[in-house]
Amino acid sequence: MKGNLCIAVLVAAGVGACGSITRGTSENLTFVSEPAGAVVTTTKRYACAATPCTLDVDRSDEFDATFTLPGYRPETIPVRTRVATRGAVGMAGNVLAGGLIGVGVDAYTGAAYDHEPNPVIARLTPLRAPPMMPPMTPRRRRPGPAEPGM
């Protein structure tokens, strides 16, 4: 009886620590542009038609996101992964519970990772600066026919 209880506790600890189960293998990533309305495409074939938008991306994917908007220069931002605090705790739990398989699964699926930056923000630059107006110089008004000085 005690043996079954010990096994149940070890299995529960191993499963509870597994990042693939507790965090999932995908993450919501938000894309924002200034001005809004840019199209986003990535090197991993994620895309959205207009910013702001949120996409569900695999935690293990690293890619470049390109924002395009007519009249503005395209902006490309690298999106990379890093071991998240919660992901590292899950990895440590796997190791402590003896779940080397769980460590391998979390590393393979990316469950221990978060993307950065999140949100991905692009500040787009206009292709041409707005035309500059010449400085206004005060003009002297000529006196009319009924005014003195004529």
Task: Look up residue 72 and give its DSSP letter.
Answer: B
- Starting at the edge strand found earlier in the chain, the sheet holding 53-58 runs 53-58, 26-34, 120-123
pLDDT at 131: 67
**pTM metric for this prediction:** 0.63
Amino acid 149: pLDDT: 58
- β partners of residue 39: 68
Is 79 buried (19+), middle (13-18) or exposed (0-12) by CB count in 10 A?
Answer: buried
Give the residue, 132 or 21, on which the prediction is more confident.
Answer: 132
**Strand, helix or coil at 126?**
strand
Which tops the pLDDT comparison, 36 or 101? 36
The 10s digit of each residue's pLDDT in 103-136 is 566 566 767 789 999 999 999 999 986 667 666 7
pLDDT bin (cut points 50, 70, 90) of residue 145 is confident
Q: What is the pLDDT of residue 14?
A: 44
Token code pair at residue 29: 């990533």
- Using pLDDT thresholds of 50, 70 and 90, give the confidence band for residue 5: very low
pLDDT of residue 17: 43
pLDDT digits (tens, 9 = 90+) for 43-80: 999 999 999 999 999 999 999 999 999 999 999 999 99
